[in-house]
Copies of this chain bind each other. A is one copy, B any other.
Amino acid sequence: MTENQSMRRGRPGYDRQGILDVAVAAFNEYGYDATSMGVLAERLGLSKSAIYHHFASKDEILDQALDTALSGLEAVVADAARPELVEGPTVDRAADRLDRVLRGAVHVLVEQLPSVTLLLRVRGNTEVERRALARRRDFDKRVTALVADAQREGSLRSDIDASVVSRLAFGMINSIVEWYRPGGRENADGLADDVIAIALDGLRMPTSNRVEELLG
C-alpha cells in the first residue's frame, strides 16, 4: 500500500509520491502533452518551481508513473511462472499459468488504475515513452509464448494465431481502464471472472469441462 500524504508525519508539503498521484490523475484527465506544469502546480497548490524541486523534468514524472504500472505487470508474469506460489494442483499446465497471468493483469489494472491507464496511452514520441513501450512489448511477448504453449499442449484452440489471441485478450482486459471506476458494483475478482469467462470459454477446446457441464 502506498503511503499517502495524510499518513506522513508532521510537515506540510509534498513528497514525490504525493506529487506523482496528482500528476498522473491530471495526465489521465487532460492527456500528458496537454497538461502544463502550470495547471499541475495549480492543482497541487504549489508554484511550478516547487515541482522542479522534486522532479528534474516533466518527463521524469511520466517515467516514474509508467514504472509503477510496468513493474506491476512484470511481477504478474514472473509470479505466474512459479507454481509453488499457488496452493492446489501438482500439475501446472501452460493454460493454468495463462489463467494466472490474465487474472493477475486485471488485478494490477484495477489496483494501479491511474498508472496503467497512463501506460496504455503512451505512443512512443520521447525516449522515456519508447523505453516504456519496449518493456510493454517484452511483456506481450511472454504472454504470446504462454498462449502458444497452451495451444501446443491442447488446452487452447489453435485455429487462431497465438499473437492475435493474446492481443485480443489483452485488448479486452486493457479496455477496462476506459470504464472501470473503483467503488463501482464490480470488484477486481468479479471483473477478472467475467473476463476469463468470456475469453477462455471461447478459447477452451470444446472437450472435458464443457462436456461434463452439458451432460452431467
Measured CB to CB, the residues of A under 8 A from B are 29-31, 33-34, 121, 123, 125, 157, 159-160, 164-165, 167-176, 178-179, 186, 194-195, 197-203, 206-207, 210-211, 213-214
> How many copies are assembled?
2
Of chain B, the residue at the smallest CB distance from A177 is: B171
A213 to chain B, nearest CB (A): 6
Known A-B contacts A175-B172, A202-B199; the reply to A123 vs B30 at CB < 8 A is yes
Q: Is the pair A175, B186 in contact by a Cβ cutoff of 8 Å?
A: no
Task: Summarize A's interface: helix, strand, loop or mixed.
Answer: helix
Known A-B contacts A121-B121, A210-B214; the reply to A198 vs B33 at CB < 8 A is no
Selected contact of A199 from candidates B167, B194, B198, B210, CB within 8 Å: B198
Q: Is the pair A206, B202 in contact by a Cβ cutoff of 8 Å?
A: no
Most buried by B among A29, A170, A206, A210: A206
Question: With contacts A157-B197, A206-B214 known, what are 9 further pairs, Cβ within 8 A?
Answer: A31-B33, A33-B33, A164-B186, A171-B173, A171-B176, A199-B202, A206-B210, A210-B214, A214-B214
Known A-B contacts A175-B170, A206-B213; the reply to A198 vs B125 at CB < 8 A is no
Q: Is the pair B213, A203 in contact by a Cβ cutoff of 8 Å?
A: no
Could you write out 23 A-B pairs with CB less than 8 Å apart?
A29-B123, A29-B125, A33-B33, A121-B121, A157-B197, A160-B194, A160-B198, A164-B194, A167-B179, A168-B175, A168-B195, A171-B175, A171-B178, A172-B172, A174-B175, A197-B202, A198-B199, A198-B202, A199-B202, A200-B202, A201-B202, A207-B214, A211-B214
Q: Is the pair A198, B165 in contact by a Cβ cutoff of 8 Å?
A: yes
Q: Is the pair A34, B203 in contact by a Cβ cutoff of 8 Å?
A: no
Q: Is the pair B168, A194 in contact by a Cβ cutoff of 8 Å?
A: yes
